[in-house]
Structure 1
Amino acid sequence: MVSKVTLLIIYVDDMIVTSDDTVEIEELQTRLASEFEMKDLGSLKYFLGAEVTRSKHGLFLSQRKYVMDLLAKTGMLDCKPTDTPIVENHKLGVYVDQVPTKKERYQRLVGRLIYLSLTRSDIAYVVSVASQFMHSPSEDHMAAVMCILSYLKSAPGRDRRSTLGYFTCVGGNLVTWRSKKRNVVSRFSAESEYRGIAQWVSEILWLRWLLAEIGFRPNATTKLHCDNQSAFEIADNPVQHD
């Protein structure tokens, strides 16, 4: 007997019905309509700030409209975009001489950014930093939140996947290169760089085998260069390989 699964997701007066059987969906909708006043809005397109698009690869979630609405409500729709969500080597903290800001507004903004980070892992770190000062925010903390909004303005619907890029040289000559959007999402930059190194090592091994096949067996270790120290520390420490 083949089991069937039907899910009913409810938030206040909005609901999503999904199932692996269309007949089950129709029967559930009929029963619910007999008890409650309902309106069928068709296939899911937007729910709780998340846009849903479909393709042959499945469903894709985006919060672009959520970002645009947030920028409009905060008056940042016409702000100058920034390339990074936080300044380098930031000194955010709680200090005696700090100038306080509106606590309720700060908490509200950070709360919205926390919800946004569900589909925008590129701001997950800076939002976690901003959320540490919810109890006593200052003007510096608010400026950091405004910086995040300026960053979102630069790409309100940015894909969470980073871009993989590397090249290989043999005897000082460029022989292979690649730049491609990754197939998976990394939670932080070091993990993204480590994935790139792992794929790069696979290509280096293939290239060494190819050279050996055609009579040019390498007689030295291949050098791999990367500008991310954290990724190297992960690669060098077998304890962190999980």
Structure 2
Amino acid sequence: MHLPQAQHMTAVMRILRYLKGTSSTGIYFDKNDHLDLIAYTDVDWAGDRDGRKSTSGYFTLVGGNLVTWRSKKQKVVALSSAEAEFRGIAKGITEILWIRKLMSEIGFPQKTACKLFCDNKAAISISENPVQHDRTKHVEIDRYFIKDKLEDKIIKLPFVRSRDQLADILTKVVNSEAFDEALRKLGIGAPNAQLEGECRNNHN
């Protein structure tokens, strides 16, 4: 917005073409036998070419259904991928805490730790290790925030392979096959096609 260039207009036009071509797309909510709360969080370290800031994103699902999502550029430049991941994980935990509180208030408290899937083994290892690391001193608050929630058994940080990281589509460019697969797993698509598929499956 401050210094628009031709490549910015190209990106905007691409977004508008995508929105026009997916105007009938929606989120399908399926009836499952659980209300487990899980989240996927991912970060594109220094992906912004203009200011080298990182983009973090998350998806949260309740009972296997997508309920919230976010993709946002981080406010400061991260000095390492682990630092960027810490900030992304902290945002994901904050969202989990809010949804846990809401579910508890309406009579559906979470009885087990919520899974927050991350594809950065270094960030997971440091989060679970109480020893201070020199390379994370500048994100010490985020690190201890994450550590406290792990120790309180509010969250777990299971590792997920990059190809199974659904939040990838919020932070970086992926090929069309990976993009479509992520949307399918998130229950995003043309509602009529999904309902027709359900009817066929039930009929068979």
Bigger relative CO (Cα 8 Å, ≥ 6 apart): 2
The answer to whether the superposition gives a TM-score over 0.5 is no
TM-score class, shorter-chain normalisation, is 0.3 to 0.5
User: Given the two structures, how large is their TM-score scaled by the length of structure 2?
Assistant: 0.41
Tell me which structure has the larger Cα radius of gyration: 1
